Structure 1
Amino acid sequence: MLGNETWITEILLQGFEELTDLQMLLFLAFLVIYIVAITGNSLIFVLVIFDRQLHTPMYFFLGNIAFLEVFYTSNIFPRMLWALLTGNKVISFSKCLTQWYICADLAVTECCLLCVMSYDRYLAVCKPLHYTTMMKTQTCAQLAATSWVSGFSISLLLLILMLQLNFCGPNKIDHYFCDYAPILKLSCSDTRVIKQLSDVVAAVFIVSPFLLTLTSYVYIIVAILKIPSITGRKKAFSTCSSHLIVVSLFYGSIIIVYMLPQNEGKQEITKFSSLLYIVLPPLLNPFIYSLRNKEVKEGLRTIFAMIVRYKLIP
């Protein structure tokens, strides 16, 4: 029993029940997406660890994000795939809260990591002479640890507050995973305090990192435009173009899903538009970095060459 009195023990995730005839097609599509996302992000993570050429601050943070995306997709996709394959859409209330907590934890952490990466790019482009002294290994580790701890602690605070609520139903959520707002709608307690706190959390850990990231790139673009040679401008921009694309993709999808005005009549639109946030960043991040970064492409060639050599040698 959770909190003082919890009446719901199981939750029905309705998923994509309006697309009854497309369940198997959705299963195959999401299975391919999941496999590609897991494989791509795992490769990036392995590369960052074992390729000495990638032992730089930017790739250190990239490795953190790749590691995060592996856990993020593994938190949502297996349960969703099981529901599409078997039709079993029931999840226990405790597992539902756990799924939401992991999502919230990793989302806040990713916001912080992207902000830290933008600061890293700002130093690399705008203050190159001070870069090596300001972005030491210890500093990078501290910034990454702060990002992970921030996600863990602030999400834990919201979870503790949610456990104090009474949930008396109905026990249906018109979604394919346990998102924050749909869970709160099941509560028969006064949720004004936790909603106000969640707004503060969003402002501090989502909006603030976004504004800081935006500010960093304003300075970066201004500095790049001041470089006299076209070759110099292209080289400077290439050092942060991949990260800029990832930031745009991540925050763009979040803004579409959570920050645009919504109402009860737009629940279906909200559910399907959330696929932008759930699917696109983990799926496309590895491709964006591997296709636009020379170091990553060289590392991938080395790994594939080792695999081929290993298979050829008895």
Structure 2
Amino acid sequence: MSNRLVNILVPVISIILGLLVGAIVMLFSDYDPIQAYIALWNGIFGSSYAIGETIRQISPYILAGLAVAFAFRTGLFNIGVEGQLIVGWFAAAFVGSAIELPKVIHLPLALLAAAAAGALWGFIPGILKAKLRVHEVIVTIMMNYIALHVVNALIKTISGGSYKTDKIHPTASLRSDSLRNLTDFSTMHYGILIALAMVFVMWFLLEKTKTGYELKSVGFNEHASQYAGMNVNKNIVLSMVISGAFAGLAGSMEALGTFGNMTQQGGFTGIGFDGIAVALLGANTPLGVIFGASLFGSLKYGAGNMPNEAGVPIEIVSIVIALIIFFVASGYIIRVFLGKLNKKKEAK
């Protein structure tokens, strides 16, 4: 059994086990798992509106997953995706509302502002890691809280005491009337195309460029890379900057697509933290992130239909997601099991 096949089977088995154990939890809680999963399915695919909202939910998950996966592939753990997403959200909302330009300039400018803000928030832990060897996990966790409270203060300042920014101008919006009509007035937008384009960018950068080779080499073995003449510090910083840019773009999906502005946040969005599970489920590969994000985005949105149609509390979906993450984290056990099955087949 090839490694590629095992990498595909492990998350698939994890999902199946998560759904099965989730069904057992529902049975013990006196809920009908069949009706619950039918309601979940209908909440995801039951109408064009539901499909549109599901795709809209998937877009930031893809970008958050890419941010985590990129850092993982280069030997770093960026747990600050949530904070980078928040500053990206604010930057896109500010540029989208503060100025008015032709759409061909305004929309790319707002997206670049979001990417730059996320990149800046990634640069700080990157430079601390490179120069002072401060562990990026500690710094990025703290940067999440700094981002949350700094952005809340900025919103209050620029809005003259209000709790939200002005609405972005139509020239900076990712929405379109054609998509609204196609999906029964859902909030689906063109952000999904940007997310998929970034999947290609990550793949191309890591697999087809010298920079990507160096980033992966430094992540795999710093000392060997330095001996080979690579600039280790530069690559550490660059990795965090690129990861932060992906996360900032995830925030722009909310600013320029879903909401059209930004309100003061009472807490974290959770998208950045879910990006860790998305990346793990996708085995830290660009293509895998698409599937991981599709699963999480679908479950998150479809869950809203479970209380209405099946009377199942929305918390049950959180349990199912947690179980899937648990089985993904226990992937080593699944790999060992698959290895033993493969040896038995070869013995026969």
TM over 0.5: no
TM-score (norm 2): 0.29
TM-score (norm 1): 0.31
| Larger RCO, structures 1/2 (Cα 8 Å, 6+ apart) | 2
